[in-house]
Amino acid sequence: MATVDLTVDTFGTAVAENETVLVDFWAAWCGPCRQFAPVFEAASEQYPDVVFAKVDTEAEQQLAAMAGITSIPTLMAFRGGVLVFSRAGALPGSVLGELLDQVKGLKIAEVRRMAEGQAGQQRGQEGGPQEGRAQEPSAEESIKSAANQLNALHGR
Active-site annotation, residues:
30, 33
Dihedral angle of Cα 2, 110, 83, 13, to the nearest 10 degrees: 60
CA–CA gap between residue 90 and residue 34 (Å, rounded): 10
CA distance to 85, 133, 150, per residue, from 32 (Å): 19, 42, 23
Give the largest Cα separation in the chain, rounded: 48
CA–CA gap between residue 23 and residue 26 (Å, rounded): 10
CA–CA gap between residue 103 and residue 127 (Å, rounded): 32
